[in-house]
Structure formats: C-alpha cells, structure tokens
Structure 1
Amino acid sequence: MLQNNSALAQLKQQIRETTPRVQGVIKATDRGFGFLEADDGSSYFVPPPAMKQVLHGDRVDALLKQEGDKTSVEPDTLIEAGLDRFVARLVKRDGRLSVVPDHPSINNQLRARLKNSLDESTLGDGDWVVARLVRHPLKPDDRGFFAQVDELVVKADNPAVPWRVTLARHALEQASPQFGEQWPLHDEGLEREDLTATPFFTIDGEKTRDMDDALYIETLEDGWRLSVAIADPTAYVREGDAVDREAQTRAFTVYLPGQNVTMLPELLADDLCSLKEGEERPTLVCTLDVHRDGSLGEYRFFAAQVRSQARLVYDQVSDWLEGQGDWAPADDTIATQLQALAEMTKARNAWREQHTLVFKDRPDYVFDVDDAGNVLAVRIEERRVAQRMIEESMIAANACCADLLAAHVGHGIFNVHQAFEPEKADQAIEFLANQDISVEREQLLELSRYRELRRALEAREDAWLDARLRRFQGYTNMSAQPGPHFGLGLSAYATWTSPIRKYGDMVNHRLIKRVLKGEAAPAEASQALTEQLTERRRLNRMAERDVKDWLYVRYLGPAAEAGEVFEADIIAINRGGMRVRLTANGATAFVPAPFMHSDRDKVAIDDKEGRIQIEGEPRYKLGDTIKVALAEAVESTRSLVARPAA
C-alpha cells in the first residue's frame, strides 16, 4: 500500500499535521549545527543535516522532534528568507560560479549564475559582488540554494574594498551625485539683507570643506545677541527637481573614515554653498538673544548675503582660549567675538544643566587613513571649548526653528525622542523597583518629570544601572509634528543648521522661507518621508560602524598577534560572552565565555541582568572597566576577539 504515491503523501501529510510545530529564526554556529530562536524566547537545537536546508536568519516553521530527553527541530516551511539581496565574494572553480555571502554567521558556498548584462571575463575569483537568492530548499519545487549575481561591487585587489563593500551592503550610493556645473540662484519673492560687511566667522575641523554655519556675536548689557548664518542650498535647488529628488533619496551626507559621499553635488556642497572665507554666500540667518543667565530671549529669522571673514579651526581656537599654543586671531574683532562666544557658551550650558539635560561627554575617535586604505593612527578627539561653542549655538538656533515652525506652520521635520518606549515603561518601572528606586509612570513619559528622574539617576554614578536602562529606552525619530526631545530635555527640536548634509534641514529651510514671504504653509510632510529619513540615518550610522570595524581589524592585527593589553569598558553581555570597547581607540572586541575560564560550566552568564559569575562569584557586569588582551583580529568577519588580562 505504501508503494502508492498518493497514499504515501497522505500519510506524510497526516504525520506533519499531528506533529507539534514551532516558529522562529535560525541562528547558525560555526560547528555545523544551529538553533531555532522561537518567538516566545525558547531555543531549540537544529542538527547539522537539517541546517543544510536553511541559512542563518531564515524565519521558518519547524517540526518538533523528541528523542529520549533530547528535543530538536526540523525546519519544514520557509516563512521569510534571511538572505535576499546580499554582498558576497565570487568563487570561480573549474568553470563553475558560486558565491559566499559576506556574513559572519553564513559560510555556505552557494551555486550562482550571472545576470545577462554581466561579462564573466571581467570577473575574477574573490571579487566582491551583489547577489540575490533566487532558490531555497524549503521553497516548493526548489531543490537547493541558488543565487544570481547582479553587479560587480569592487575588484578584490582594490584598496577601497572596505568602503565600497560596506556602501553596497547597505544599498547606499557609492559616489556623490553629478548634475552639471550651472547653478543659477532661485530667490523669487525673497528679500536678502546685505550682511557682507558684518564680521561673521566659521569654526570647523581642519579638513572640513562643507562649511554650513557662520557666527557673529555682540555683547549686550543683559547678555548677548548671536547671529547664526546657515548656508542656503535651497537658493540653488528647486523643490521637486532632479537634484532635489536625489537629495531626498540620499537624505544625508554619508561620513566614513577617509571618505565622504555627499547628499548634494560636490560643487554645491563643498564650493557654492560652503561658507568659505572671503566668499559672498546666500544664507538664512537666525539672530537670537541670550540672557546673562543663559535663557533664550527674542529671535528673528531672515535671509541674507554673508561673507565669512575668518576660517577658524577647533583646536586652534580652543588652545587660544585656554591660553596655550602659538595661534591667535588675526584681528581684535574676531578675538573679542570668540571671548564673548565662550562666555555665552558657559551661561547657556549652565542654564541647560539646570533646566534641561546635558549628558556626559563621550570622546570621538578619528581615523587617519592614507590613499591605500591603511590606517595610520586612531586619534581621540575630545569635545573642547570650541566644539562646545558651536554645539550650544546650533542647539539654540534649532530650538528657535522648532518654535517658529510650531507657531507659524504647524509642522516641519522635527527630531522627536522619547526617553522610554511607552510599551516598555512598565518593564523599566519593574526593573528600577528591583534596584530600590521607586518611580511613577509619568516620570518616564513626561518631559518635566523625566528631567527630575534623570538627574537623580546620574547622581548615583552607577554605570551598570545606566547601561541596563538602555534596554528600555527609545530612539530618535523624525516626525512631521513637533514633539519632545527627551535627550536634550527640550519640548521641541527641529534642525535647520546642516542643509548641505541633511535633507530634513532643506525641508525646514523651505518652510522658514514661506514664513518670511508670508506664504501659506504647504501640506504636511508625509509619514513615508519621515520614516525614510529615520531609516536612512540608521543605515548611514551602520555603514560608518561597519567601515570602522573593518579598519580596526586591519589596524589592530599586529596588537592581536602580540597579545597587547588594553583598558576596556563592558558595553554588552550575551549568552556567549561580553562585548567591550577599548578606551584607547574606540574599537569593540568580543570576549567569549571559554576565554573567561577553562571550564565553561563554571561561567554563569545572566544576559538579562548584565552580570557574569565565575565559580559562583560575581566577576563582571555592564559598565565595568577591565583590562583585556587582544587574541584575534579576523578580517573575514571584521571582528576582534579578546581575553581578560591577568
């Protein structure tokens, strides 16, 4: 009877229908087996034979199998493939093509074909390509994995591999946009004041080319009057034209170590719009009053022609204000302004310390990269007085922009940040209660109450508590409607000070111009636009992180071979070990549990609490500073591995 195919199929179907099932995501290991992480948090073993039918990241429906006291699963139905479009290394062997996805948890070699438009003779073994998975063993009628190569990303021997591959992985543009060299001004109906004789100045990094803000400050009897002049690319780019549509798609300039990919054509970003010393430029200006106590007073937005009279550099300005170094301002006018700006910054910072929120500084790590892609050094760039002067000026100007748009337009592109996601508030309250900290729900969700809580928590100076709370905290999103920014402690925040680099700032520029011209407000920005801006910002940050990880591995390879010891902060703890950040250069490394003790069973990791015990004794927790010795630098996965230093 079982020889009858229909009867056999019916029997198999009955077995499947009566067998317990579970849905989840496949997690592969480097030892051939894997795990299915179920939606309810449970984990099931996937044996090696079954792993040949799936890839890391696949979401599947699986059959539960019980053999004695061992439970495993057999993936049965593909719900969503973990791979779709992906970057891979091309493998050419004996006239056959295959690809190896560039993923730390996928080392499968997948058979592949080329897209019809590609010439196989131009592709070599090891070249980087973009591919798509077109067949999957768990799909009906597919007998195995198969991929199609859609494009060449970069040749294997190109020094730009880390940058080109990373941009391709995140589907980001590889180069700045090109739109010709003719850029007439479009200032219809907008009057510009002539401020070319006013001694504005810029303060930027030594290598900055897209200078988008210039300042002028006067000391008043009761405080200061600050004028913030911002480059005006919307004077050249019409809303809805090809350049504007491309800028909207890109959303931001991508800043990577050693390379920038601009949002606008470089002729605009680095030349016509850049507030270069001695060059007349169209700008939007906000003149605002800052009282002696640091609070903001009246403000006024207007369009103007500006000519920067000094291009200053952060470190030189900081040195001069701190009484060190040989540099000095070229004339007394600029010197007087710098001193006034430093005084205003102190007052403004003190006011924000009392009335809003000011978080502790974190150092920036800057890569010095040569033309061959080699990292010459990684420098710590502290936020000194000159950086604070610019930061406080921009925060004040952006707060004024938020107020203007909320009052006169009713919408715009706002940065909205909730300290805690509403759905996680109860979890956060329970967590804090377990630390003997009693809080009300309003303290997590209402800005005025949150300020009180934040200051109380900071007074404890508990790095573990701060790190654990991040599990419940929200992210900054773009919104068409004004809303609180808990990170800054402001009721609304809308940036307009970086329109060369951010499309949302261009949108706000156009709204400000409508207010100045007395025009009716346009339709509110769509949710699709604000979501796209938020997502694009996330991709840009991931790309920056990925390039840095790649360069760190190359840079610290010799240190790993030598087992060099570094001071490090514990930034994450999971079931496999802990992740640390090296304080000397900002690199992150993973410390696996077996490196903490020769007997893995003596290492108890509580990833939910962020604590690790060794032989029953507390040893590590989130926020701790420890010493680690680098053990490996693995370029294929762009990962550093470390062990606790004795």
Structure 2
Amino acid sequence: MLQNNALLSQLKQNIRAKTPRVEGVIRATSKSFGFLETDDGNSYFVPPPAMKQVLHGDRVEAALHEETHPQSGEKREQAEPETLVEASLDRFIGRVTLQNGRLAVTPDHPQINQALKARQARAVESETFNEGDWVVAKLLRHPLRPNDKGFFIEVTRLIARNDDHKAPWSVVLARHDLPEAQPEIEADWQLQDPAGLERQDLTHIPFFTIDNPSTRDMDDALSIEARPEGGWTLTVAIADPSAYVMPGSEADLEAKARAFTLYLPARDITMLPVTLSDDLCSLKQDEKRPALVCTLNVNAEGALEADPTFQSAWICSQARLNYDDVSDWLEDKANGWAPNEIMATQLKALSDMMQQRLSWRQTHTLVFKDRPDYRFKLDDDHKVIGIEIEERRLANRMVEESMLLANVAAADFLARHAGQGVFSTHNGIAPEKLEAAVEMLKAEGLTHDAEQLASLTGFRDARNALEAHPDGDWLEARFRRFQGPAGLSPTLAPHFGLGFEGYATWTSPIRKYGDLVNHRLIKAVLSESDKPAVDETLTESLSEGRISNRRAERDVKDWLYARYLKPQEGQRFMGQIVAINRGGMRVQLVDNGATVFIPGPEIHATRDELQCDQETGRVLIQGEVKYRLADQIQIELTEVNEDKRSLIGRPVS
C-alpha cells in the first residue's frame, strides 16, 4: 500500500540525509570483516556482508550506523560502503582459478583472496588457461558502481604458466609494466659528434677499468698520477653513448622510456641495445673507444681543487681489472695475481688518494657506514642455490670515491656553464618533520634548532653528532624517519644525504638516461652548440622510473627469498631490527639479507602489556624496553609463504 507513496519516499530521503557519511579506504583482514580507515585516522568496522561488495584498498563513501555488539553489548559505529570513489584494482596481476570449469582470477595481493569472475579478451581468446596460471587482468565491473551487479574482470594477457620456475621475473616485470627484454633496434651505428666538438686522442694515457668479472657494460676507466708537490691528478674517462644515440632517434626515445638499465638477480635488461652497451660503448681492454673525459686535481689533504677540465676524447683501456684481485693485491692477500709495473704504481696512488679523500669527506661532507650487498646464486633452472655476501672492499671504495669526485665536478660545471642539468638532490629533513626532529635530538642532549637542521651544514653536524653518540645506531635509525626522499632536479640543489652543495651523475650514461642527457649538455658547452632543454617533466619521469626499477628488484628478491628459505622454516638466524610499527617489527637477517616480520603476538602474548612504539623506535613490555631499532637479535623463522612472498618469525629469548 505504501510502495509508491510520495510521503514514504520523502521519509527515506530525510533519513538518508541525516545519516552521517565518511570517506576512506577499505582495509581487509584475514577474517571476513574489515575496516574503513579515514584520512584523519579514524577507523570503522565493516561487517562481513558489506565486505563482499568491496576489495582491500578501495576508496569508498560509506554510511555510518550505530550497532550493538551481540556478545559484549557494546555500541559501536559500523560503516556500510555505498559509493565507489576509486577502485584499488584497475590493471592487475592475478592467478587463474577455475570455478566449475569457468574462468576466474584471484588478484595477486596478500589482502585479497577473492576469486573474481572473468572473461578472455580478444587478444588471448585462443589460450587455454590452467589453474594457477599467471595473467594480467583489468577490472570491468564493481558492485558499488551504478548498474554493476558484481565484480567482473577481463584477462588481457598470459604471463607465465603455473609450473614456470622463471615466473618471478615475468610476473614482477608485468606488474610494474617494465620491458622484459633488451631493446631491439636495427641501426647502422655511426659516431656523430656535434659540429665544433674536437675529440682529442688520449689513447696514450694508461687507463684501466675495475669492475666485477661478469661486467660487460664497462662505462668508466681511470688513470692517476701522484703530483711531486703533493696530491694527485685523477683522470676519469666515461663511455660516450651520446656519440651514437642522437636526440629524438628510436634508440633515444626507447632509452628515455626505460630511464635505466634494470638489474635483477640473474637478469639484466639494458637501457640501450646491447650492441652499444656491451660492445661499441663498453670500455674494453685494448679497444679504442669514444669517451667524455674529466681531469681533476686533488690536493694532499683530499680536497678537490677548482676548475676540473672536461674534454671529448678517444681512449684505450690498457687493463681490465676486477675488485677482488685489486683488493687482494693491495691488502697483501696472495691470490696469484699481480698488476704490471705501470698499473701497480697507479693502483697504489689511487688507494692513497681514496684514503685521503675519504678522510677529507668525513670532516667536510657525510660518509655513511658500509653495508654489504647480497647476491643470489642460481642454477640453470633459476633455482636459488645460495646467497653470497658482497662486502665493499678497498677497490670498490677506490672507484666509488673517484666517481663521487667526478660527479661533484660535473654538477659545478653544468651549473656554471649550462645553467641546467639532471642534478641528484636530497633535501634532508622533510619540512613538516623539522620540529619533531629537533625534539628527538633535544631529548638526547643534542641541541640543533630547526633553522640549523634545514641547512646543509647543520644537517651534517647533526648526523655526525648522532654517529658519535653512544646510542648512535638507534638514534640514526630513528633520525632517518624524518628525512625526505632523494630526487632529481633540472637545477642545482644540495644533496644533504651526501653532504655536497651539488651532485650530478654523468658516470653511467650506458645505464642511466639522466647521465646521457648530462653528457649531451657537457658536450654542448664544449662545442658551443645548442643545449638540450631539461625540465621537471623529464626529471620527474626519471624519478618515477628509478622507483619502478627499485620496486621490481625488491619484489623479485622477496620472491627468491621465500623460495630459498622455505626449506629452512624452524631454523634460527641472527638479524638486525630495521623497522618497528604498531603491528610488530622487521628484522634483516645478517647471513642473507632477507627481511622477516615479527608480529606483536610473537613478541609478547599479552597484547595490553606490549607497546610497539614507532616514534621512539622501541618495543616495550610492561613499560620496560625490550628491543630497539638497530638491535641485533636472534630469531626463529616460523613461517614462509611463497604465495604472499612473506617471512614470519619470532624472537628467540
């Protein structure tokens, strides 16, 4: 009787108008219920029936209703999602799930376990999919969209079969929409220098390279001479792909899109065609190669003297050396290798220069502690058979200090002569966190005000003070939380993280598009020709490319760690606490670099007695400090989940 009553309709509208609403993001749990978290930090319970209409990560508008808990009788507000603001899924990766022979896909996400009904796109309509196959899909329908009755997706691409042991690489590259192979560009590679550029013949200079034995794209060579009056003259020669890759060419556009060479375990995907990266531009021993060369003078105290010179040249490396051989020889660790007399003199001079330069930087810039790298050893089937620790040895530091010098020189050269470039920057403390950083330091007896911390000198002094503090490791780990990310800029700006007034990398143009651009700018200055424009659009694109590459590298490593450590469940490892949040803490294992999550209940069973304090980087039990950031602890690996690429552990008391 009241079905079409206008009064009833008006009543419903009035009720709806009075119902409070909030906007937030859906957070699923391992159970059937979830929560809606608003931007201001409030959290509302979402009951199981409502969770069937949303997915983890969806941003929605929800109506709030007060409900009484059936057991406790406690009243609480519940959120009922009504409108989709932004779906968490658009293009995504998933695994095929066959439901009564019909196609469905479960998104590859630790918080989404729901199989979504699917259809095949025209591009893959001839494929026969099997349970567990990896695919790319896109969301077509969502229950909270008008006229959509449920979730429905379309499979657009087959990535890998369920039994493909190389799936980690293929899936991760597809997830981040990164190229899976080297660029295939057919071209008659001819050297093309800008008009007015004179390429000097420096093939008589005894350059040498130091790399890993497996390196093919050798992009830097060095030559050094000790000066009679003290100090050194260091000549840095960098491979010059800009001599072959013209702006706007197919190779240039492809390199710009890729931004970087991608280095994954057991798989490198180059920015440039391998004909260039591994052959024509690689500074191979006894091969004449085009290079951009910088000559730097370093005084006896380790300071870089003014006005380094740049020139375009031909060079010829006279020796291909590797880090371990050079380090062993300089450290008197006999391994059967020794350099010839010319190289021996240079290597000793380079070692002396590095030591003095490092000493100078410890006073005038920032020098961070060496951290080991971890390298996966894989067999022919891409199965992990071991993980090696790669310590930064003497030869690594020699090359590193040389590149730092060259990049500082390039930043100054570009700023003065080109007025632009691809500059590496770091702003130190994020502005909105300055006061919190001041308070943290003050609590430890370190007096640095916000104005000081916002300056390069003040930031450096604070970092050095933390390093000298008895609790330096813990305090440094806390201090890092206040720092902003590193970035790229078309104009000169300080790099707080390194302690330099300016920094512009040009030493890896085979591997980094920004370095290739800096080569073109330097050569434009040398030839007095038109300079390529550099703007924020380019630097932002390069920054995004760097983030994507780093995420891809991390994701592949997480997958390989899960595979490698699955047979080692129940074993004990030493690790260092690297993060603490309200849910628990993360520990990096010393032996292999894997990161293990320790959930709160594994730290202490009584929830009310446990406090995981992210602000102070401490874990307290009954008010007493039990663990701190940077502490070394022993843990037991309790669970390895390859599907979620997660490692769970517990502390061993």
**How would you bin the TM-score normalised by the shorter chain?**
over 0.9
Q: Is contact 2:292–2:311 with CA below 8 Å preserved after alignment?
A: yes
Which residue is 2:133 aligned to? 127
Which residue is 2:88 aligned to? 82
Return the offset for 1:427. Answer: 2.6
C-alpha distance in structure 2 between counterparts of 1:291 and 1:195, whole Å: 24
Which residue is 1:308 aligned to? 317
C-alpha distance in structure 2 between counterparts of 1:515 and 1:485, whole Å: 24
Measured on the aligned residues, the alpha-carbon RMSD in Å equals 1.6
Deviates more, 1:462-471 or 1:281-290: 462-471
Q: What whole-Å deviation, never above 9, does each CA across 1:192-226 have from its counterpart, x for those lacking one?
A: 11122221110001111111000011111221111
Q: What whole-Å deviation, never above 9, does each CA across 1:331-356 have from its counterpart, x for those lacking one?
A: 10011110000000011111111111
Which aligned pairs between 1:113-152 and structure 2 lie closer than 5 A?
A: 113-152=119-158
Matched, 1:172 2:181: no
Which residue is 1:490 aligned to? 500
C-alpha distance in structure 2 between counterparts of 1:590 and 1:181, whole Å: 50
C-alpha distance in structure 1 between counterparts of 2:594 and 2:375, whole Å: 11
Which residue is 2:636 aligned to? 629
Return the offset for 1:632. Answer: 0.9
| Runs of 4 or more consecutive aligned structure 1 residues displaced over 6 Å after TM superposition | none
Return the offset for 1:436. Answer: 4.1
Which residue is 2:616 aligned to? 609
1:468 is matched with which residue: 459, 478, 486?
Answer: 478
Q: What whole-Å deviation, never above 9, does each CA across 1:61-116 have from its counterpart, x for those lacking one?
A: 12222224222211121111111111111223434111111111111101111111
C-alpha distance in structure 2 between counterparts of 1:54 and 1:14, whole Å: 26
Q: Is contact 2:467–2:473 with CA below 8 Å preserved after alignment?
A: no
Return the offset for 1:173. Answer: 0.9
Q: Is contact 1:181–1:267 with CA below 8 Å preserved after alignment?
A: no
Which residue is 1:339 aligned to? 348
Return the offset for 1:181. Answer: 5.3
Which aligned pairs between 1:322-333 and structure 2 lie closer than 5 A?
A: 322-333=331-342
Return the offset for 1:627. Answer: 0.7
C-alpha distance in structure 1 between counterparts of 2:324 and 2:531, whole Å: 42
2:566 is matched with which residue: 554, 557, 560?
Answer: 557
C-alpha distance in structure 2 between counterparts of 1:67 and 1:396, whole Å: 66
Return the offset for 1:7. Answer: 6.0
Q: What whole-Å deviation, never above 9, does each CA across 1:120-165 have from its counterpart, x for those lacking one?
A: 4343322111111111111111111111111111222222100111
**Tell me, what secondary structure is at the counterpart of 1:178?**
coil
Closer, same or farther: CA 387–117 of 1 in aligned 2, 3 Å = same
Matched, 1:437 2:446: yes
Which residue is 2:248 aligned to? 240
**Tell me, what secondary structure is at the counterpart of 2:508?**
coil
Which residue is 1:380 aligned to? 389
Return the offset for 1:5. Answer: 7.7
Closer, same or farther: CA 451–581 of 1 in aligned 2, 3 Å = same
Return the offset for 1:437. Answer: 3.3
C-alpha distance in structure 1 between counterparts of 2:582 and 2:5, whole Å: 46
Deviates more, 1:393-402 or 1:598-607: 598-607
C-alpha distance in structure 2 between counterparts of 1:400 and 1:327, whole Å: 37
**Tell me, what secondary structure is at the counterpart of 1:25?**
strand
Which residue is 1:514 aligned to? 524
**Tell me, what secondary structure is at the counterpart of 2:311?**
strand
Which aligned pairs between 1:35-46 and structure 2 lie closer than 5 A?
A: 35-46=35-46
C-alpha distance in structure 1 between counterparts of 2:92 and 2:454, whole Å: 39
**Tell me, what secondary structure is at the counterpart of 1:379?**
strand
Q: What whole-Å deviation, never above 9, does each CA across 1:234-258 have from its counterpart, x for those lacking one?
A: 1111011111011000000111111
C-alpha distance in structure 2 between counterparts of 1:11 and 1:53, whole Å: 26
The count of aligned residue pairs is: 643
Closer, same or farther: CA 591–307 of 1 in aligned 2, 3 Å = same
Matched, 1:66 2:66: yes
TM-score, structure 1 as length reference:
0.97
Matched, 1:499 2:509: yes
**Tell me, what secondary structure is at the counterpart of 1:372?**
coil
The one-letter amino acid paired with 2:14 is Q
Deviates more, 1:27-36 or 1:349-358: 27-36
C-alpha distance in structure 2 between counterparts of 1:10 and 1:107, whole Å: 40
The one-letter amino acid paired with 1:610 is G
Identical positions, percent: 56
1:395 is matched with which residue: 404, 417, 422?
Answer: 404
Matched, 1:271 2:279: yes
C-alpha distance in structure 1 between counterparts of 2:424 and 2:528, whole Å: 25
Which residue is 1:197 aligned to? 204
TM-score, structure 2 as length reference:
0.96
C-alpha distance in structure 2 between counterparts of 1:23 and 1:327, whole Å: 69
**Tell me, what secondary structure is at the counterpart of 2:127?**
helix
The one-letter amino acid paired with 1:250 is R
Q: Is contact 1:201–1:310 with CA below 8 Å preserved after alignment?
A: yes
**Tell me, what secondary structure is at the counterpart of 1:35?**
strand
C-alpha distance in structure 1 between counterparts of 2:77 and 2:104, whole Å: 35
Closer, same or farther: CA 20–193 of 1 in aligned 2, 3 Å = same
C-alpha distance in structure 2 between counterparts of 1:86 and 1:245, whole Å: 26
Q: Is contact 1:419–1:445 with CA below 8 Å preserved after alignment?
A: yes
Closer, same or farther: CA 464–48 of 1 in aligned 2, 3 Å = farther
C-alpha distance in structure 2 between counterparts of 1:394 and 1:526, whole Å: 25
C-alpha distance in structure 1 between counterparts of 2:145 and 2:444, whole Å: 49
Closer, same or farther: CA 262–122 of 1 in aligned 2, 3 Å = farther
Unaligned runs of 5+ in 2: 69-74
Q: Is contact 1:34–1:48 with CA below 8 Å preserved after alignment?
A: yes
Return the offset for 1:472. Answer: 1.5
Matched, 1:53 2:62: no
The one-letter amino acid paired with 2:425 is V
Unaligned runs of 5+ in 1: none
Closer, same or farther: CA 435–330 of 1 in aligned 2, 3 Å = closer
Q: Is contact 1:316–1:325 with CA below 8 Å preserved after alignment?
A: no
The one-letter amino acid paired with 1:323 is D
Matched, 1:368 2:374: no
C-alpha distance in structure 2 between counterparts of 1:8 and 1:566, whole Å: 67
Closer, same or farther: CA 317–41 of 1 in aligned 2, 3 Å = same
2:106 is matched with which residue: 100, 103, 107?
Answer: 100
Closer, same or farther: CA 205–5 of 1 in aligned 2, 3 Å = farther
Q: What whole-Å deviation, never above 9, does each CA across 1:276-319 have from its counterpart, x for those lacking one?
A: 11111111000111111000114110011111111111011100
Return the offset for 1:521. Answer: 3.2
Closer, same or farther: CA 42–608 of 1 in aligned 2, 3 Å = farther
**Tell me, what secondary structure is at the counterpart of 1:581?**
strand
C-alpha distance in structure 2 between counterparts of 1:580 and 1:7, whole Å: 63
Which residue is 1:638 aligned to? 645
Return the offset for 1:45. Answer: 1.6
Which residue is 2:290 aligned to? 282
C-alpha distance in structure 1 between counterparts of 2:543 and 2:651, whole Å: 38
C-alpha distance in structure 1 between counterparts of 2:243 and 2:13, whole Å: 67
Deviates more, 1:206-215 or 1:146-155: 146-155
C-alpha distance in structure 2 between counterparts of 1:267 and 1:468, whole Å: 46
Q: Is contact 1:212–1:498 with CA below 8 Å preserved after alignment?
A: yes
Which residue is 2:72 aligned to? none
The one-letter amino acid paired with 1:463 is D
C-alpha distance in structure 2 between counterparts of 1:624 and 1:484, whole Å: 32
Q: Is contact 2:234–2:296 with CA below 8 Å preserved after alignment?
A: yes
Which residue is 1:354 aligned to? 363
Deviates more, 1:602-611 or 1:274-283: 602-611
Which residue is 2:556 aligned to? 547
Q: What whole-Å deviation, never above 9, does each CA across 1:377-407 have from its counterpart, x for those lacking one?
A: 1111111110000000000000110010000
